[in-house]
């Protein structure tokens, strides 16, 4: 197991919320190297931990794990029915035009099979995919954005931003000409109802870039 510090935001009998560092797998991957992941590290402390959702290895930020199968089912339903609020922060190439409030990227996405794990905009076979975004600041030749994925497709934020001409800085898969020490994408806010008590819960994590 690695020694990277992992911030714990909340832990109780139903769930654990923590920050995933960039570069660490969220859940187990292939082979021996794939055994070290955030789930495995937290399960060493809470043996009844269950996976609810995922973040890309290159993405940092908030994740929730369920404790026990009942909590996993309840949180899984909440994610599937879009009852979970997710907000990300990203730094993207170029200057995104400022506008009042939130704007939308509504483009269907599907697997780019010859180039897996890449995804692509696919008007014929892609699944409906919707991302809301808002400009937070212009930073030199880049723009800091708040992002809210309404749907939860694989690589959705990354592909949608490439599609509008503003790839995320440090995205080695979709924008290799924008090198950075890491992908500048962070899961900054997570809101949902507690699977046992139904109490509203909201967590925030400041982007480390």
Indicate which residue of 56, 106, 122, 171 is catalytic.
Answer: 56
Q: Is 205 exposed, middle or buried (0-12, 13-18, 19+ CB in 10 A)?
A: buried
CA distances from 189 to 18, 105, 173, 179, 194 (A): 11, 20, 24, 26, 16
Query: Using the 8-state DSSP alphabet, how is residue 1 labeled?
Result: -
Kindly provide the b/e burial profile for residues 168-183, where b requires at least 16 CB atoms within 10 angstroms of the residue's own CB: bbbbebbbeebeeebb
Is residue 122 part of the annotated active site? The answer reads no
- Select from 153, 145, 209, 206 the least CA-distant residue to 183: 209
Query: Using the 8-state DSSP alphabet, how is residue 118 labeled?
Result: -
Question: Which residues are known catalytic residues?
Answer: 56
């Amino acid at each position: 197991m690695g020694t990277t510090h992992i911030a714990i935001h909340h832990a109780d009998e139903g769930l654990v919320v923590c920050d995933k560092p960039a570069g660490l797998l969220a859940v187990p991957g292939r082979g021996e190297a794939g055994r070290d992941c955030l789930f495995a590290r937290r399960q060493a402390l809470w043996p009844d931990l269950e996976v609810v959702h995922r973040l890309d290895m290159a993405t940092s930020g908030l994740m929730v794990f369920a404790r026990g199968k009942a909590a996993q089912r309840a949180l899984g339903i909440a994610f599937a029915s879009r009852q979970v609020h997710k907000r990300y922060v990203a730094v993207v190439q170029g200057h995104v035009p400022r506008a009042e409030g939130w704007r939308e990227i509504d483009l269907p996405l599907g697997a780019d099979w010859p180039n897996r794990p890449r995804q692509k905009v696919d008007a014929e076979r892609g699944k409906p995919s919707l991302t809301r975004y808002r400009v937070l600041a212009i930073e030199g030749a880049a723009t800091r954005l708040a992002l809210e994925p309404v749907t939860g497709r694989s690589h959705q934020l990354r592909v949608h931003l490439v599609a509008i001409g503003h790839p995320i800085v440090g995205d080695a898969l979709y924008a290799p000409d924008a090198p950075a020490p890491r992908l500048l994408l962070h899961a900054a806010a997570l809101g949902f109802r507690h699977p046992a008590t139904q109490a509203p819960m909201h967590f925030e994590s400041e982007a480390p870039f």
